[in-house]
Structure 1
């Protein structure tokens, strides 16, 4: 029930939307913002100039619709990913959230279901809700791990139409073994289930952590999603993409809005891909700061999870919100992900990481 003060109460909303809250992290003006898993390093100047040139060249044709099939961009994305992929294997949209939404529009919807394994990315149930897809919250072990046996058993139990596997997982930062992906795919073959591996943070993975891109050959219903928001430091550009069998990629044309990727978006992404080495040069530093956070939080007596992403999920005692507020009082904003006794912090620059660790020390010294 909506309260009388709810400004939406008088609107004829769908019943399943009533009382819902929109997704979003707090947007506060703070000294150090480490709550949304952005790459906090600024875009390198050579990339800024390349984007400006590309967009400037495209500006004269903004009276015309963009390339509806964004052919040049799909070719560039395939070249970046490698693994023998071609433009026909690639699809892109306005951020990986729109990618996931389009996948549910095509393969989910009324009378169908999507399974993921909680705790995981909190947008999954909201995307399911928005597309009329039944959301099934699978379970993980007490330490938030997920084995191939457990995942496959839950797939057989629920028989979903789509499965979302987040790897590295958000908010825990841990990557899945490829055996989990293989087991889930095999368990769903009898009813043509689509398996989506969300690799938004893949570029931050530790050495030896494999990508599900290696599993694409021979699996016509496997999808691997990526984004340019994280490692590429282009959260403001809104470009997500996936690799899959060409037939699955082609199916997205049935649900995408006409000309859904603007000329400016395509130009920005192409310039970034041409200079991806410069953009990804910050990844090594982010990983150093992430590992530093894990080491220092352990030294301070907290319990951080090993991370393959650009953030660290850590156990912080019984009152996570009190610690969240204590860090905020020091000008450092982290994420309270709603899991009792745990917080999540983005690995920022060296200076930002130092500010976070100093704030943690200060809080622990007071508590």
Structure 2
């Protein structure tokens, strides 16, 4: 196909394959959506929405509401149909891209799609932030955009603010734009929004897909300087945020109290699942400051398929650097989490049974 750019033809698809299961714990969605009374109010407002009309060009009304909610200048707020689209626009604007490894795959995927030079610095042992190595990378060559998810995906680790601040200072001195992706900030002990306010070389990326329980609505936003926001906004398609999406998010912003309640439920369940997995004979769960757990298993394919056969869908992560044997499980409702735990320990018992049969068979020979 000569009409298309050659490098695009050779690129693999985005690394996600849809599968069906009774219990879906593979995409880090909130198990709790809008409360019933807000759903009823949304239905009422949607009934009055003129769908024959285009939405605002860049979701200006929603951007104004987000600015009020976040205490951020409205000119520095960019809204998109999911934070992925904003990441794509940032990469399109970047001279080059710096990342950590492993990381959220969309940074690298976007760089390859857009032909942007890409470099990833491996995390240290225990998923520790490699500050010195990143500072060295920031000092080499022309500047670009540096993405750092914190809390980190896919590991669930939280990088201490003082270490992140050190990187922010280095990035600013080297004229890099540093984007801290805070998709899971509600589950963490701190965030970097206050430090980013007024900093031209620092931006914050957030989403309504996780703690807000609005993954199906598809909305994310960037908090940045007016200059950066203008460039990113111009790279997003006009009328890109559908009117129903804007309406749902505006309603949620009017009633943010439900989010704190949902987050607390998820935190309690996350800690419970983590503690119960300590008794698993072969799986190791890592501490998390998100709504998911990364789990190291002897065989990620076997763990994934075994859970799927028992009606529980999780996400394999063993294709990522340094995550051999890893799977990722979203924290769901208590009932869903109990089903996952039951399946996980059943697999362990079945594995022990198979090993014993093999030993007995060997003995008979």
Q: Normalising to structure 2: TM-score of the pair?
A: 0.89
Q: How many residue pairs get matched?
A: 346
Is the aligned partner of 1:185 residue 2:168? yes
Describe the SS at the equivalent of 1:143: helix
Describe the SS at the equivalent of 2:338: helix
Q: Deviations over 1:138-196 (max 9, x none)?
A: 11113222143332223224654110001111110112222333222222334421000
Q: 1:225 aligns with which of 205, 208, 217?
A: 205
Q: Which residue of structure 2 aligns with residue 87 of structure 1?
A: 74
Q: Deviations over 1:188-234 (max 9, x none)?
A: 334421000001111122xxx21010211342121100000111111
Q: 2:101 aligns with which of 95, 118, 121?
A: 118
Q: Which residue of structure 2 aligns with residue 30 of structure 1?
A: 21
How much has 1:68 moved relative to structure 2? 2.0
Is the aligned partner of 1:343 residue 2:327? yes
How much has 1:328 moved relative to structure 2? 1.3
Do the aligned partners of 2:171 and 2:201 also contact (CA within 8 Å) in 1?
A: no
Is the aligned partner of 1:236 residue 2:212? no
Q: Deviations over 1:59-87 (max 9, x none)?
A: 2xx33332224332122212332xx4232
Aligned residues: CA RMSD: 1.9
Moved more, 125-134 or 10-19: 10-19
Q: Normalising to structure 1: TM-score of the pair?
A: 0.88
Do the aligned partners of 2:33 and 2:214 also contact (CA within 8 Å) in 1?
A: no
Describe the SS at the equivalent of 1:150: helix
Alignment of 1:93-108 (within 5 A): 93-106=80-93, 108=94
- CA–CA distance in 2 between the matches of 1:329 and 1:229? 28
- CA–CA distance in 2 between the matches of 1:344 and 1:276? 28
Do the aligned partners of 1:225 and 1:242 also contact (CA within 8 Å) in 2?
A: yes
Q: Which residue of structure 2 aligns with residue 315 of structure 1?
A: 296
Alignment of 1:131-142 (within 5 A): 131-142=114-125
Describe the SS at the equivalent of 1:85: coil
How much has 1:114 moved relative to structure 2? 0.2
Q: Which residue of structure 2 aligns with residue 67 of structure 1?
A: 56
- CA–CA distance in 1 between the matches of 2:143 and 2:332? 37
How much has 1:270 moved relative to structure 2? 0.7
Do the aligned partners of 2:145 and 2:178 also contact (CA within 8 Å) in 1?
A: yes
Describe the SS at the equivalent of 1:299: coil
- CA–CA distance in 2 between the matches of 1:18 and 1:250? 31
- CA–CA distance in 2 between the matches of 1:270 and 1:95? 15
Is the aligned partner of 1:54 residue 2:45? yes
Q: Which residue of structure 2 aligns with residue 304 of structure 1?
A: 285
Alignment of 1:271-290 (within 5 A): 271-290=251-270
Is the aligned partner of 1:144 residue 2:127? yes
- CA–CA distance in 2 between the matches of 1:307 and 1:159? 35
Q: Rate the CA distance shift 1:340–1:94 in 2: closer, same or farther, 3 A.
A: same
- CA–CA distance in 2 between the matches of 1:80 and 1:12? 46
Is the aligned partner of 1:213 residue 2:193? yes
How much has 1:32 moved relative to structure 2? 0.9
Do the aligned partners of 2:55 and 2:242 also contact (CA within 8 Å) in 1?
A: yes
How much has 1:43 moved relative to structure 2? 3.0
Q: Rate the CA distance shift 1:261–1:299 in 2: closer, same or farther, 3 A.
A: same
How much has 1:46 moved relative to structure 2? 1.4
Q: Deviations over 1:292-318 (max 9, x none)?
A: 12111112243211111000012222x
Q: Rate the CA distance shift 1:184–1:32 in 2: closer, same or farther, 3 A.
A: same
How much has 1:251 moved relative to structure 2? 2.4
Is the aligned partner of 1:78 residue 2:58? no
How much has 1:262 moved relative to structure 2? 2.3
